[in-house]
């Protein structure tokens, strides 16, 4: 027995907003519902991750699919992608989030995303680590330039994620915003997945008074995430979009977003 259904979405495709993971999770939940077969949230997320690898060859991590399944209203998710341990981090009510589209579409299978992951895996192999959490900064000494920068990004990013979660828990918007900016700089310089349009959006966000911003997803196009004081969300969004369209001549679509519940069967 097959399944006939209708799929609709208001999530922009090719904008770094995990649209592929959203489709995978939605279809998987529908198939489970029709078959009267239930999977644990992370088990289903892992199945969707495998499907993306097999269908389009993208060696993606588990983050996007897990976020689709684990989301809760008003909370971020602190996820260890190696162990799948996770916990919710309440989002401060005075902290707002914006998504700004660069107008540069992309699909990861047509970018250097796989190459970057391969370079990182080689760097980990060279230092004898099975996963990035086992690597210490001292291990970077002696690596060639490219593997050193790829591994340095992951090491420093892991620490920034932990610090970002702690900043949210103590309602420290200044630190959270600074960490986003540092994350983008590392993605641009060490992991080399940014493009001029994304760099421009981050620059414009900071100039508009945002707390911080970074590219979203695997880079090479798509959108940026902007952290703002919630009462200035609309003002900052308009300033970024207006100036970006003036200078780039494209994109600039903004969305005011909030953490919300993940996928479910109604």
Separation CA 56–CA 213 (nearest Å) = 30
* From 10, 64, 73, 80, active-site residue: 64
Beta-carbon count within 10 A of 43 CB: 12
Give the residue among 27, 75, 88, 20 at the shortest CA–CA distance from 52.
Answer: 20
Residue showing tokens 């799929």: 7
C-beta separation of 97 from 258 below 8 A: yes
Report residue 53: phi and psi, to 5°: -65, -45
Instruction: Give the gyration radius of the chain's Cα atoms.
Output: 19
Residue showing tokens 């060859």: 57
Instruction: Reply yes or no on whether 64 is catalytic.
Output: yes
Separation CA 73–CA 121 (nearest Å) = 35
Separation CA 223–CA 99 (nearest Å) = 6
Q: HSE on the CB side for 106, CA within 13 Å? A: 26
Residues 6 or more apart whose CB falls under 8 angstroms from that of 29 comprise 44, 263, 264, 265
Catalytic site positions: 64
């Amino acid at each position: 027995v097959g399944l006939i259904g209708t799929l609709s979405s208001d999530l922009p495709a090719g904008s770094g907003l995990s649209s592929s993971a959203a489709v995978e999770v939605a279809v998987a939940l529908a198939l489970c519902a029709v078959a009267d077969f239930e999977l644990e949230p992370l088990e289903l997320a892992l199945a969707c991750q495998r499907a993306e690898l097999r269908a389009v060859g993208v060696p993606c991590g588990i983050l996007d699919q897990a976020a689709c399944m684990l989301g809760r209203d008003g909370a971020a998710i602190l996820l260890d992608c190696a162990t799948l341990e996770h916990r919710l981090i309440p989002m401060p009510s005075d902290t707002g989030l914006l998504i700004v589209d660069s107008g540069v579409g992309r699909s990861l299978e047509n970018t250097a995303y796989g190459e970057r992951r391969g370079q990182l895996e080689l760097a980990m192999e060279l230092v004898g680590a099975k996963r990035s959490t086992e690597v210490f900064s001292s291990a970077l000494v002696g690596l060639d330039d490219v593997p050193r920068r790829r591994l340095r990004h992951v090491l420093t990013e892991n620490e920034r994620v932990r610090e970002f979660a702690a900043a949210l828990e103590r309602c420290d918007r200044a630190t959270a915003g600074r960490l986003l900016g540092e994350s983008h700089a590392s993605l641009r310089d060490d992991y080399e997945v940014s493009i001029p349009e994304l760099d421009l959006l981050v620059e414009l966000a900071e100039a508009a008074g945002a707390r911080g911003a970074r590219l979203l997803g695997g880079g090479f196009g798509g959108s940026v995430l902007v952290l703002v004081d919630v009462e200035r969300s609309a003002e900052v969004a308009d300033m970024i979009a207006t100036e970006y369209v003036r200078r780039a001549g494209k994109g600039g679509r903004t969305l005011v977003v909030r953490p919300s519940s993940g996928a479910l069967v109604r």
